[in-house]
Amino acid sequence: MDLPLGYLFRDLDDDQLKRIAAVAREIPMEKGQQICREGEEAKELYILKTGAVELMTKVEHDVELPISILRKPGDIFGAGVLVAPYQYALTARCAGKGVLFSIKRSAIQKLMMEDRDLGCIIMTNLAAHFLGRLKESRREIKVHFSTLLRSYS
């Protein structure tokens, strides 16, 4: 099975990629289908093959704030499977019919324990990704802050 190459698997060699592909299974998704929910135990890592997935976070009782839309094959979500306390940080919903690869937490953890080089590469990629999102998020806060500053000056 050929896994599309997203940020998480960058710098892995062919043999390492093969071992990851071997524990992935394909699952179809329908538009509107909820794939995982913010705050729930993270059991699967998801990799987009085709289609689109919207990520969002709950703001109030029934209001959700959209965070991003994934459309590129290889885009990843559910990375909470890689980080204690193993919870999904966002809710994911299918925004365009397609196919996902999913990998069980126990399977990816086993590969990372058996091959620490693979583990180090994946966690380095994940940290870089989270740092990128953190910077984006801080940029957004700065915009709010600047607006506030101007409204008081």
Contacts with a second copy, residue ranges (CB under 8 A): 57, 59-60, 63, 65, 67, 79-80, 82-84, 89, 112, 116-117, 119-120, 123-124, 126-128, 130-131, 133-135, 137-138, 140-142, 144-146, 149
Q: How far is the CB of 29 from a second copy (least distance, A)?
A: 24
Query: Which residues contact residue 42 at a Cβ distance below 8 angstroms, ignoring those fewer than 6 apart?
Result: 36, 78, 80, 81, 86, 87, 88, 105
Nearer to a second copy, 31 or 133 (CB): 133
**Residues 6 or more apart in contact with residue 121 via CB below 8 angstroms:** 10, 11, 12, 16
The CA angle 60-83-104, to the nearest 5 degrees, is 95
- Nearest distance in Å: CB 30, a second copy: 28
Which lies closer to a second copy via its Cβ, residue 22 or residue 120?
A: 120
Q: Which of 120, 39, 35, 52 is nearest to 80 (CA)?
A: 39
Q: Which is nearer to a second copy, 32 or 61 (CB)?
A: 61
- Return the number of the residue (41 or 145) whose C-beta is nearest a second copy: 145
Report, in Å, the least distance between residue 15 CB and a second copy. Answer: 15
Distance CA 87, CA 115 (A): 24
Residue number with CB closer to a second copy (110 or 133): 133
The phi, psi pair for 40, rounded to 5°, reads -80, 160
What is the closest distance, in whole angstroms, from the C-beta atom of residue 130 to a second copy in the complex? Answer: 4
CB of 19 to a second copy, least distance (A): 16
